[in-house]
Amino acid sequence: IAGQPLVVSTWDSGTIANGGAWPVLQRGGKAIDAVEQAGIAIENDINCCVGLGGNPDRDGRVTLDSCIMDDQFNCGSVAFLERIKHPVSVARKVMDTTPHVMLVGEGAQQFAVANGFVLEPGTLSADADKTYRKWLEKSEYKPIINVENQKPSPSKGKKAFAPNKLEDGTPNHDTMGTVALDAAGNLSGMCTTSGMGFKMRGRVGDSPIIGAGLYVDNEVGAVTCSGQGEEVIRMCGSHLVVEFMRQGMTPTEACRRAVERIIKRDPVKAKDFQVGFIALNRRGEVGAFSVQKGFSYTVTSATIQNKVYKAESYF
Ligand code: SD4
């Protein structure tokens, strides 16, 4: 509803992202500016899964993916970007100042530096360094993505490696996706991540891919997600959720249908990965659904103060 701005972000750490976005929305600013601020806020935070403090790839380097999309189908994206603190803002620059949608790797970094972004040293955060050293002990290429209800494997009697968990087992957080509706009734979204921890060098997930990790159609709604990127990419996940909403489904129903589509392809494999969608329609209705239990999202509006909700899940 025009006049009632609202912002929704993935995970309970969405409180940090929404903290960046809300002041912009509250003063009547645009959704696109709000979601960029959401990205900046979470990229400033040192955590496992977003920004330069995130877990590295298996070669020990942090590579970042991000995209942003406004209410006019304008979009920008960067992938496999190294040593730049705010990939979301580089994605915004790609959107605002180039005829392109996506820049990757060295070219994206070159573009960022040419536009005044500082080339950071590229050292690992203390937490990431510790986690990486631990991972190196076995160097098992078996990345597991945010299966929050993961239990010790009975067959092996030890805990599976879960990069989204802190040492004491409490869930840390993952990819940050944010969608927002502004006072003028326009929608925008962004997604930012360091991607799957200990991924192959050069691996890019869904998060910087328009239609996969994020999609916005101002006539319908805005959708973003977190989880196993490969599963999202092959179903064009966020776009799929928008299309389900176009058919008249509620945000939650649309997210549920997309999750079911992902699971249907390989129901056995689906038991071991997580994907969670959040959706916001143009009327300001919010919904979410995930493969596994444990996915959460944070909503902020004039009446809802950074409230964390648990998403319904298939399993
Ligand atoms: C990826 N979708 O790189 C990201 C990771 C993620 O919560 O969302 N983690 O596949």
Express each pLDDT in 40-75 by its tens digit.
999 999 999 999 999 999 999 999 999 999 999 999
How far apart CA 18 and CA 42 sit, in angstroms, is 9
Token representation of residue 278: 């959040």
Ligand 1 centre distance from Cα of residue 213 (Å): 9
CA atoms within 13 A on the CB side of 221: 31
Ligand 1 atom at shortest distance from the alpha carbon of 65: 3
Q: With a threshold of 0.90, does the pTM exceed it?
A: yes
- Tokens 């006072």 belong to residue: 183
Ligand 1 centre distance from Cα of residue 230 (Å): 9
Q: What order of strands is seen across the sheet that includes strand 102-104?
A: 102-104, 75-81, 64-69, 187-193, 176-181, 6-10, 296-301, 307-310
Q: Can you tell me the mean pLDDT for 180-188? A: 98
Residue 144 and residue 161 in contact, taking contact as beta carbons nearer than 8 Å: yes
> Which stretches of 136-293 are assigned E, i.e. beta strand?
176-181, 187-193, 214-217, 221-227, 275-281, 286-290
User: Residue 18's pLDDT is what?
Assistant: 98
Phi, psi of 6 (to 5 degrees): -160, 145
How far apart CA 195 and CA 203 sit, in angstroms, is 9
Q: Which of the two residues, 159 and 221, has the higher pLDDT score?
A: 221
Instruction: Please tell me which residue in 10, 63, 131, 175 is annotated as part of the active site.
Output: 175
pLDDT of residue 160 exceeding 80, the answer is no
pLDDT of residue 148 exceeding 60, the answer is no
Instruction: Specify the residue with its C-alpha closest to ligand 1, atom 5.
Output: 195
Which helix (H) or strand (E) segment holds residue 260: the answer is helix 251-265
Average pLDDT along the chain: 91
pLDDT of residue 211 exceeding 70, the answer is yes
Burial of 219 (0-12, 13-18, 19+ CB in 10 A): exposed
User: Residue 170's pLDDT is what?
Assistant: 42
Ligand 1 binding pocket mutation candidate from 145, 191, 209, 278 (most atoms within 8 A of CB): 145
Q: Can you tell me the mean pLDDT for 262-291? A: 97
Residue 67 and residue 89 in contact, taking contact as beta carbons nearer than 8 Å: no
Ligand 1 centre distance from Cα of residue 236 (Å): 14
pLDDT of residue 163 exceeding 90, the answer is no
SS3 66: strand
Ligand 1 centre distance from Cα of residue 229 (Å): 5
Q: Pocket residues for ligand 1 (CB within 6 Å)?
A: 49, 145-146, 174-175, 193, 195-196, 205-207, 226-229
DSSP state of 266: -
Residue 141 and residue 61 in contact, taking contact as beta carbons nearer than 8 Å: no
How far apart CA 66 and CA 47 sit, in angstroms, is 16
175 is a catalytic site residue: yes
How far apart CA 52 and CA 55 sit, in angstroms, is 8
pLDDT of residue 152 exceeding 50, the answer is no
Instruction: Please state which of the ranges 74-78, 140-144, 233-237 shows the lowest mean pLDDT.
Output: 140-144
How far apart CA 271 and CA 266 sit, in angstroms, is 9
Q: Which of the two residues, 85 and 156, has the higher pLDDT score?
A: 85
User: Residue 258's pLDDT is what?
Assistant: 98
Burial of 295 (0-12, 13-18, 19+ CB in 10 A): buried
Residue 207 and residue 213 in contact, taking contact as beta carbons nearer than 8 Å: yes
Instruction: Specify the residue with its C-alpha closest to ligand 1, atom 10.
Output: 229
Q: Can you tell me the mean pLDDT for 293-309? A: 96
Q: Quick one: how many helices (H) and strands (E) in the chain?
A: 8, 13
Ligand 1 centre distance from Cα of residue 97 (Å): 27
Percent of the chain scoring above 90 in pLDDT: 86
Ligand 1 atom at shortest distance from the alpha carbon of 227: 8
Instruction: Specify the residue with its C-alpha closest to ligand 1, atom 6.
Output: 227
